[in-house]
Amino acid sequence: MKTLSRGMQILIGAIATVLLAALSMAGITLLGGGPNPGGARNPGATRCAAPSFAGTVVNVTTTDRGRPGMMRGGMRLSADRATVVHGKVSFLVTNAGSIPHEMLVVPLAGTQSAGTRPVGRDGRVDEAGSLGEASATCADGEGEGILPSTAGWVTLDLPPGRYELFCNLQGHYLAGMYTELTVT
């Protein structure tokens, strides 16, 4: 059998290297983009494997335009549903932005609407009455913030009422990171 020329050996080596690189990239994509138990709204864009949740799942997404100093009007917190039935409610918060975010669940008083809480000099609103928050990276409950391209989650027992979901990192409420949720 004729041995391969030196040039052919190099060529085959190069092809194998390219194939291996392509395969490992495909592997990373598969690992990072797996199905997300929260639902269709957030199609697995995070590096976290969230657990399967008890009760109704609300998918929350946080976004920003990724420009430092771009505060007012540049950030959003949205939920895939405006109403849930009372009882166990799990919030899966996916941070699709470029900086850390969080989500708190705080009752709205009377006819108060979302986005009307007074903002203090520290750029934050009063968290009194909060029923819980998702502010940990790839984990349940409270933490140091949900890093970009990851998720945090929290399961709460919610009585009927009107609630505001918002991010209370400095300046983020003022920038538009709030939405309303009605529990029936």
Q: Applying CB under 5 A, which part among 26-34, 104-112, 123-131, 175-183 lies near Cu ion?
A: 175-183
Evaluate whether 108 touches 167 at the Cβ level (below 8 Å): no
What gap in Å lies between CA 124 and CA 38, rounded to an integer?
A: 29
Q: Applying CB under 5 A, which part among 11-19, 104-112, 120-128, 172-180 lies near Cu ion?
A: 172-180
76 is an interface residue for Cu ion by CB under 5 A: no
Among 172, 176, 179, 183, binds Cu ion (CB under 5 A): 172
Q: What does each C-alpha distance from 62 to 66, 73, 148, 159 come to in angstroms?
A: 12, 13, 9, 25
* Encoded tokens for 146: 């949900």
Q: What does each C-alpha distance from 74 to 16, 38, 71, 135, 150 come to in angstroms?
A: 46, 26, 6, 20, 20
In the bound complex, what is the minimum distance in angstroms from residue 138's beta carbon to Cu ion? 17
| Contact characters 84-103, Cu ion, x per CB under 5 A | -----------------x--
Instruction: Tell me the residue nearest to Cu ion as measured from the CB.
Output: 167
Nearer Cβ to Cu ion (56/166): 166
Residue numbers at the binding site for Cu ion (CB under 5 A): 101, 167, 169, 172, 177
